[in-house]
């Protein structure tokens, strides 16, 4: 179940990346165009990494863990930024979507592998950390 979840949510990053490109190309703005094009490509790279990681979650678990941290950072940043007047209220959608996805990634991959957050922060897969072996289907 976690494998399919990572695969599908990773695939959605392709759409978000393409939408970021579309926004940049539809209304190019100085100071934003390069950043948005780069961000769009980064999101597509993240999508490819998640889809790749979903095919062998034990050995590629740090990819999923780090993506969980990225999504958790987005959700927590919005919770701080919107009430402080640093962002737009529409960004609460990031909390509603990325927050739960982050928790599923983080808790799910730690339960699946038995690896600690320190193992993941140091990018040790669970095989090299000595916690588990083999691929997950």
Q: pLDDT band for position 76 (50/70/90)?
A: very high
Q: Where are the domains of the chain?
A: 1-49, 56-137
Cβ 59 vs Cβ 136: under 8 Å? no
Whole-prediction pTM value? Answer: 0.85
What is the rounded average pLDDT for all residues in the chain? 90
Cα 131 to Cα 84: distance, rounded to the nearest angstrom: 42
pLDDT in tens, 3-33: 999 999 999 999 999 999 999 999 999 999 9
């Amino acid at each position: 179940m976690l494998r399919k979840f990572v695969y599908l949510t990773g695939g959605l990053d392709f759409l978000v990346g393409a939408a970021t490109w579309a926004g940049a190309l539809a209304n190019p703005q100085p100071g934003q165009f390069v950043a948005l094009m780069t961000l769009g490509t980064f999101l597509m790279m993240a999508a490819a990494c998640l889809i790749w990681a979903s095919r062998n979650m034990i050995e590629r678990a740090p990819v999923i863990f780090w993506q969980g941290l990225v999504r958790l950072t987005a959700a927590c940043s919005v919770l701080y930024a919107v009430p402080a007047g640093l962002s737009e209220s529409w960004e609460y959608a990031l909390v509603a979507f990325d927050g739960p996805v982050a928790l599923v990634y983080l808790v799910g991959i730690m339960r699946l592998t038995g690896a600690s957050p320190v193992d993941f922060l140091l990018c040790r897969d669970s095989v090299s950390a000595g916690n588990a072996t083999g691929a997950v289907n």
